[in-house]
Amino acid sequence: MKVQMISRNPDDYVRETNKEHHRMPRNYDPALHPMEAAREYVRALNATKLERVFAKPFVSNLSGHRDGVSCFGKHPKRLSTLTSGSYDGEIRIWDLANRESSRSFLAHEGFIRGICYSTNGERLFTVGDDKQIKVWSSNAPDINEDEQPINTILSRTIITSISHNRKQAVFATCGEVCSIWDENRNDPVKVLKWGVDTLHAVAFNPVETSVLSCCASDRSIILYDQRESVPLRKIVLSMKSNKLCWNPMEAFNFTVANEDCNLYTFDTRRLRNPLKIHFDHVAAVTDIDYSPTGKEFVSASYDKTIRIYNTHYSHSRDVYHTKRMQHVVCVAWSQDNRYIYSGSDEMNIPIWKAKASEKLGVTQPRERMNFNYQEALKEKYAAHPQIKRIARHRQVPRHVLNSQKKMRTTKDKELRKEANVRKHSKPNSVPFVSEKRKTIIKEEI
């Protein structure tokens, strides 16, 4: 004889404290939930709307510079330290936790062209229009001491940019030539040339640390290896590139900011065609910086906006702008992947959230679970027309909107003209050329 008994475990329904929520028993059988998809769609739609409601990316503003901000330097060890240089030669070191300037000193005469830290973060390197490379201590001097550089190197040529090796005590500068320097020597270890008037941007690869690249005035991008005595490869684009940044997680990939309002991501193993073209800017792109995860990057432009891109998508994920922001010259992504810093001609440094609707401060476990659930729903229903329209909609300044319309009209006119020429020509006499192939003029090895 079988006797059925009701067995209950108190751990399944009894609260440990009075502040906990009552545990609800749930049956996940799909047959009992015929309206599951409809409910999830409504939740995804509400989550997308709430994301746009709470999208307030501006966090704070760092003021103190007396001229436009020209470049940034990120400390490799301290998340709360940011260094900025301005057009009048002033260097300011910011305490981001308190949002105030901890140090300021006049470093160069004229523009500050580049700032970088040593591998251990103990030294700060700056270059300017006065042909000098100055080395500063990252620690503030004593109360009665003045700000004095540890070392000053006078270069024979103009210096326009500087980049430090991530693993070695080596840094590179560019100007008329690309020079490799040792921290303990006052003469360059190696000088690399490839028949170019001016190199205006240099960047070390953070993964393959012996590889570096430069943007040149003849619209070219040159790849170097500090172990070699000659440059490796060179590609010439249709317009000049202003800045270059390597992907910190993918050793072969880098992205350049170009004068033609676009950004181009390249693979060094196949430079003939770019991997991806990133659109949406309506003026020259001046600077670019990758996130620490390597999945996204931020770009600055002369159209007075900054845009955030996914590395695998052609159009921007978000666009940030304010009424007072002028031509954006430099941009940086924080090492903790949460904030973005931008510098422009209005002498301030705005701090933005990397995710516009992200909540700052402490989040409870249940709140975090809810955020993760909403993100999963938005990703699941991202292709639905109404959700896609709400998620993509952005308010942009009027001059940007008008420029976008003009650029779209010009592009449609070119495509229409090309189609007409092909229609009234012999078959196969007018070949189809992809946008990626139109960008690269030639490749030299």
pTM of the complete model: 0.90
pLDDT for res 266: 94
Could you tell me if residue 389 is inside a domain? no
Residues 324-344 pLDDT 10s: 898 999 999 999 999 999 999
Could you tell me if residue 417 is inside a domain? no
Mean pLDDT, all residues of the chain:
92
Q: What is the CATH number of the domain that holds 74?
A: 2.130.10.10
User: Total structural domains in the chain?
Assistant: 1
- The Cα-based distances of 359 to 62, 117, 286, 351, 373 in angstroms read 21, 31, 30, 15, 15
Residues 352-364 pLDDT 10s: 999 999 999 889 9
pLDDT for res 215: 94
d(Cα 441, Cα 220) in Å, to the nearest integer?
A: 10
Residues 165-215 pLDDT 10s: 999 999 999 999 999 999 988 899 999 888 888 899 999 999 999 999 999
Locate 342 and state its tokens. 């931008």
Residue 433 has pLDDT above 90, yes or no: no
Could you tell me if residue 384 is inside a domain? no
DSSP per residue, 302-362: TTS-EEEEETT-SS-SEEE--SS--SEEEEEE-TTSSEEEEEETTSEEEEEESSTTPPPS-
Q: Are 59 and 338 within 8 A, CB to CB? A: no
pLDDT for res 201: 93
d(Cα 429, Cα 439) in Å, to the nearest integer?
A: 21
Q: Which residues of 302-318 are buried (b: 16+ CB within 10 A; e: fewer)?
A: bbbbbbbbebeeeebbb
Give the range of the structural domain holding residue 74, as residue numbers without chain letter: 58-353
Could you tell me if residue 68 is inside a domain? yes
Residue 131 has pLDDT above 80, yes or no: yes
Residues 30-74 pLDDT 10s: 899 999 999 999 999 999 999 999 999 999 999 999 999 999 999
Could you tell me if residue 444 is inside a domain? no
Could you tell me if residue 309 is inside a domain? yes
Could you tell me if residue 251 is inside a domain? yes
Could you tell me if residue 49 is inside a domain? no
> Strand, coil or helix: what is 160?
strand
Please count the residues of the chain: 445
pLDDT band at residue 367, thresholds of 50, 70 and 90? very high
Q: Average pLDDT, stretch 149-153?
A: 91
